[in-house]
Amino acid sequence: MRQRSFIVVAIAVAVLIIGAVAVYAYDKTRDDVIAKGVKAGGVDLSGMHPSEARDTLNRQLAAALKKPVIVKYGDDKFRLGARRAKISVDVDRMVNEALDRSREGNMLTRTTRAITGGSVHANIPVELSYSKKAVNDFAEGVGRIVDQDARDASISFAGGQVVKVDSQNGRKVDTGQLDRRIEGDLTEATSDHKVQAPVEVVKAKVTTSELAQKYPRVIAVNRGAFQLTLYDHLKVVRTYPIAVGQVGLETPAGRYNIQDKQVNPSWHVPNSAWAGSLAGQVIPPGPSNPLQARWMGIYNGAGIHGTTDVGSLGSAASHGCIRMAIPDVVDLFDRVEVGDPVFIS
């Protein structure tokens, strides 16, 4: 009886040993086989050997990840290639990690899982590297091309009159957000690698509708027509006949501002040949002073003033100043302020 029990135990032990050896041998045959359910970057590697897994990942994953990223804005397209972005996909590391996950557990659990068709359910993350500096430089380059400064509304002088120059909104690429969008596409194999540039509207500081408020008073001098026109909030309110500088002493063209205002001004005679013996003198208000009633200085000794020589109006007769009839210059003087723009053409 005792001998029979020993034989039974011996047989059982032998069976266990044989089974263990068989399990071990089977498990060893699967050392380089990726378990069912193991994916890498979303690519199913179930049952593959390392070389096959590497080929599969290079074909289905790495090739897709190395496609150029195309940034679009309107009709413009900007291309960031894999070489410039320094994209590298570490397929070997992903395959090694897939094998490591396949070998988790002990040989009995692994063998049982393989025989019964069980799965590991693991998805190895993409092992990808790229140059953040290259992406940032690319995004800033897109910005330099797409960005456009806003243009404030302004006024200019053309055809003898003041004209409005409309405002125009600008645009600016949000390079930080563009960076993030590009990086998101670089690391996503299923992405189409097409990115819309995030562009913000830059508002003009002065819009066309605000222009009249910014320029409540403007003086426009048309030398050829011998006219001075006053604009109130960019609407013509008065036009006056004037005299301008004679040949060789022309009234200077350009944009100026009223620099000072004086009632019954003294005349500081320039040290010029045309002034003769009066050069350098100061002539007080009175009949011998050509600057009658009012003075509005605009540029380097030139200005707008009244005159008793009304016969000179409508001609080029002054030494550079703008002459007006006395009632007209008094009227204009009371309507304008220091700093108001003066256009002379």
State the catalytic residues.
305, 321
- DSSP string for 20-71: HHHHHHHHHHTTTSPPTTEEETTEE-TT--HHHHHHHHIIIIIHHHTSPEEE
Q: What are phi and psi of 288, to 5 degrees?
A: -85, -5
The closest of 286, 284, 298, 291 to 329, measured between CA atoms, is 291
Exposure b/e, 312-337, CB count within 10 A at least 16 = b: bbeebbbbbbbbbbeebbbebbeebe
CA-angle at 70, arms to 141 and 131, nearest 5°: 60
Does residue 110 sit in helix, strand or coil? Answer: helix
The two tokens of residue 343 are: 């256009």
- DSSP string for 284-313: PSSTT-SSEEEEEEEETTEEEEEES-GGGT
The two tokens of residue 145 are: 């091309």
Measure the CA–CA gap between 307 and 292, rounded to whole angstroms.
Answer: 5
> Are the C-beta atoms of 127 and 89 separated by less than 8 Å?
yes
Helices (H) and strands (E) in the chain, counts: 10, 25
Measure the CA–CA gap between 2 and 70, rounded to whole angstroms.
Answer: 83
Measure the CA–CA gap between 262 and 305, rounded to whole angstroms.
Answer: 10
Measure the CA–CA gap between 243 and 238, rounded to whole angstroms.
Answer: 16
Burial of 125 (0-12, 13-18, 19+ CB in 10 A): exposed
